[in-house]
Amino acid sequence: MDDILNLGLVAATLGASWRLATPLIFAALGEVFAERAGVLNIGIEGMMLTGAFTGFAAAFASGSVPLGLLAGILGGMAIGLVFAVFTVTVKANQIVVGAAINLLGMGLTAFLFRTFYVSTGLGVEIAQPIAIPFLSDLPVIGAALFRQNAIVYATIPLTFLVWVVLFRTSFGLTLRAVGEHPKSVAVVGRSVAAYRYGAILIGAAFAGLGGAFLTLGHSNQFVENITSGRGFIALAVVVFARWSPVGAFFVALLFGLFYAVQLQLQAQPQLGVPYQLFQALPYVMTIIVLVLVRSRRGAPKMLGVAYDG
Amino acid sequence: MTGPTFLRLDNIHKRFGAVVANAGVTLDVEQGEIHALLGENGAGKSVAMNILAGVLSPSEGRILIRGEPIRLGSPRDAIRHGIGMVHQHFMLVPNLTVAENYILGQGTPARLIRDMGEVHRRIEALSARYGLDVRPDAIVETLTVGQQQRVEILKALYHGVELLILDEPTAVLTPQETERLLVLMRGLVADGKTIVFISHKLDEVMAVSDRISVMRDARVVDTVRAADTTPRELARKMVGRDVLMELPRRPSHEGRVVLAVEGLTCRDEGGLPAVRDVSFEVRAGEIVGVAGVSGNGQTELSLALAGLLPVDAGRVVLDGRDVTGFSPAEMSRLGVANVPEDRHRMGIVLPFTLAENVILQRSGDPAFSRGGLLRRGAITEATAEILRRFRVKPLDPDAVIGSLSGGNQQKLVVGRELARNPGFMLINQLTRGIDIGAMEIVMQEVLKARDAGAAILLVSTELEELFSVADRILVMCGGELIGEVPPERGRIEEIGLMMGGKRLDAIEPAA
């Protein structure tokens, strides 16, 4: 048991937590945008999968990780546009459309992957770790925390950026008002629909980026259903973080820790516990979190409600 | 004080599909006047004012400001022309500060919000100028309704509005707050602003306006100077016939105690204390009114009596039987009728027909079903009877209730409940949001039920309603019963103070 509690291992787990949390952070930041504007986008899983696939495909064709990430973002946004048309313009039920988007993302990416790539069996070049000068030389934690790839580091400035946009710009103020009292926005001459489109597309872009990280910054391949429920966990993260971007960052880190711990535990055969139990950890924690956070305090009032101009 | 014509609505038409909401509305508003727009629900007042505020666009007709025709494509355009509206349901985002609400949607979206100091200073200066107590950093949802209304009015002034439209501004206020609003309106006009306000309350219209336009059937039927008219004349113009301003009423013959509430205490749906140690009785043949500003425990009191909220302490005794904690179904079986506050949420099912709504709680009643099958003939007949008695339009039991006006919906609900000949009737808001014609009918029918021996508890935020039908008025504040007063209009000030939390013995007797 000694080696489980070894300090280096703890540091490595923390580093892994951040890396494993990265797709959750992106997806949750995007969902904060959508939900703050009153849109409950449960289709992030499908948008992440699409981003993972388009990112992989673009990187495979071009050999460029940045191009792959861009393709991931655009892939997510393309599906996001479908979601926006149906929920904002057609005013269809957000849950139903979200569920359909998830099925679409899963089916479409599996189909395209099998059609074009499954026989190649090839991976792509992924984003390489960058050691941050000085910090990476710190004893124990340095190497574990500060030798990540650029996408992982990007979670920090992006979280800050989301906070600034939501709470320190006129756009963010209006967007939050759309989620609370859309009519008050309409009477000052702003289009509620336009803001919801914007929020959904920004959210979808983040989901696509989170998905692309899975194929371009984590594993080097696309596999069917590579997201394995991360989009749904991101939904729980947003609730637990009470719709705050900074909160979402830390809650996602916590879930990243669950992933990292379960990976470590899987590597301990002497515990004599079936590894499937450990694999279930993040999902079990999601359920526990959602049961603990029963109050809807802080939730945007118009969450999930279509606006009838 | 008033000057030349500031604004003219010229032959405005507005149609929503087949429904004509405005059929040639023509209205002149003079610079610096308070102009009341009086009319029943559905007369087209709000539609006309929403057109003026740029929220709706007219199907036909022109709007002129100082003789110049203008086009209003959005509320923004209207504000640019100096026209702003305070809507009945406030356009304030509850979880933002006052100042944030004022800058909402202003400037380019990409603008960074750095220095709110300038905005705060401007709000404070305006607030001081009109003697308001608007604090720019207050979160809107922490303010009372009256304060929120002042925030809305100041918002319009902040955006440079010259013509202020107020849509039923007093509907949500206590008498004291109403008084304060009327003073504010006078102050604004003295400062050169012009006000159009929508109302169907004759007293306040008479008290504050310079001129009054009456709307009926989608048209302005007359415009008169307040000094040259009487409430009775206005009411006749509004309804198109004479109305009973005072309902004829027999003295009550109080009988045995039907409902006894002893030390009732309960919490609201959020778990916060809402009703504290409330005790009272309702006797057969009397109507007991419960007055109070909304949100002071009346809603929870009526929910608890209907069996819809758990009782924490105290007892509810009906006909000598302890019914504390009984379910709504059990209460209903014991002959308790209930007219709920929010008829859309609890009283009726909007997509259902009138007949289906009539038998909602009684579909298992042998009168309406046999062997699990509904008896359509009996149901239609029972419904038609209610429709006739309450003059519900349309007289068609198969019409969908959602297509009816609020007044007609309420007539059906009251009719349905009275048709059960209840021993005890619980009413929360009898006439809210319905027109004078419908008001008269439901009030008269409720009085008839009282004369026939029903015990009735009427919870209402409309004092007029209580004065018209109640035999005595209990006043609630902060979840407690503050005191009891007879339903005399002369004691309105006292009631207002009690609604604000002053106990009867603490109030100086009026000279």
Dump pLDDT digits (tens) for B248-306: 677 777 789 999 999 999 998 777 888 999 999 999 999 999 998 777 889 899 999 99
Determine, yes or no, domain membership for B124: yes
- Domains held by chain B: number: 2
pLDDT value at position A241?
92
Q: Which of A182-186, B457-461, B463-467 has the lowest mean pLDDT?
A: B463-467
**Which residues on B lie below 8 Å from A299 (Cβ)?**
none
- The predicted structure's pLDDT at residue B227: 92
Note whether A301 contacts B107, CB cutoff 8 Å: no
Largest Cα–Cα separation, chain A: 65
H runs (alpha helix) in chain A: 7-36, 44-62, 65-84, 94-116, 141-145, 150-168, 170-180, 182-186, 192-213, 230-240, 245-266, 275-279, 281-292
The string of pLDDT tens digits covering residues B104-140 is: 988 788 788 877 889 999 999 999 998 888 999 999 9
- Structure pTM? 0.75
Q: Do B228 and B284 belong together in one domain?
A: no
Question: Which pLDDT does position A270 carry in this prediction?
Answer: 80
- Identify the pLDDT of residue B279: 95
Query: B344-392: per-residue pLDDT in tens?
Result: 778 888 889 999 999 888 877 888 888 888 888 999 999 999 999 988 8
CA atoms within 13 A on the CB side of B100: 26
**Residues spanned by the domain of B502:** 257-506
Second CATH level (architecture) for the domain A2-117+132-292:
Orthogonal Bundle (1.10)
Helical pair A7-36 and A230-240, crossing angle rounded to 10 deg: 80
Residue B247 maps to a domain: no
Residue that has been written with the tokens 């407690």 in this structure: B480
Mutation choice for B interface testing from A184, A202, A294 by most B CBs within 10 A: A184
Domain residue ranges of chain A, discontinuous segments joined by +? 2-117+132-292
Q: pLDDT by residue (tens digit) across A239-292?
A: 999 999 999 999 999 999 999 988 888 877 787 778 888 888 888 988 888 888
Position B503 pLDDT exceeds 90? no
CA atoms of B277 and B380, how far apart (whole Å): 44
B76 with A184: Cβ contact below 8 A: no
Residue B263 C-alpha, separation from nearest chain A C-alpha, in angstroms: 30
Q: What is the pLDDT of residue B509?
A: 52
Nearest to B308 by CA among B284, B289, B327: B327
Beta strands in B325-449 (DSSP E): 336-339, 369-370, 373-374, 424-428
pLDDT grade, residue B244 (50/70/90)?
low
Percent with pLDDT over 90 in chain B: 47
Contact check, Cβ <8 Å, B74/A189: yes
Q: Nearest Cα to A72, choosing from A59, A62, A83, A85? A: A59
With respect to residue B511, please indicate whether it lies within any of the assigned structural domains: no
d(C-alpha A287, C-alpha A294), whole Å: 11
Which residues does B contribute to its contact with A (CB < 8 Å)? 55, 74-77, 87, 89, 91-96, 100-101, 103-114
The answer to whether residue B315 is domain-embedded is yes
Question: How confident is the prediction for chain A on average, in pLDDT?
Answer: 90
Q: Taking each helix axis from N to C terminus, what angle separates A44-62 and A230-240, rounded to the nearest 10 degrees?
A: 130
Is A173 an 8 Å CB contact of chain B? yes
What is the C-alpha separation between B249 and B227, in angstroms, rounded? Answer: 31
- pLDDT of res. A144: 78
Among B97, B119, B95, which Cα is nearest to B106's?
B119
Tell me the CA distances in angstroms from B380 to A95, B354, B368, one per residue in order.
39, 9, 10
Residues B263 and B299 in one domain: yes
Between chains, do A301 and B106 touch, taking CB under 8 Å as contact?
no
Residue A189: the pLDDT is 81
Q: What is the pLDDT confidence band of residue B337, given thresholds at 50, 70 and 90?
A: very high
Contact B104 A181 (CB under 8 A): no
- pLDDT class for B74, splitting at 50, 70, 90? confident
Q: Is a pLDDT exceeding 90 seen at residue B177? A: no
Question: CATH no. for residue B210?
Answer: 3.40.50.300
* Segment B402-425, tens digit of pLDDT: 878 778 888 999 999 999 889 999
Instruction: Collect all residues of chain A within an 8 Å Cβ-Cβ radius of residue B89.
Output: 183
At residue B511, the pLDDT reads 39
User: Is residue B294 exposed (0-12), middle (13-18) or buried (19+ Cβ within 10 Å)?
Assistant: middle
Query: How far does the CA of residue B98 sit from the closest CA of chain A (Å)?
Result: 13
**Inside any domain, residue B245:** no
- Indicate whether B244 belongs to any domain: no
Same domain, B50 and B176: yes
The pLDDT-based confidence of A298 (bands split at 50, 70, 90) is: confident
Domain presence at residue B18: yes
Asked whether residue B249 is domain-assigned, the answer is no
Bridging pattern class, strands B455-459 and B424-428: parallel
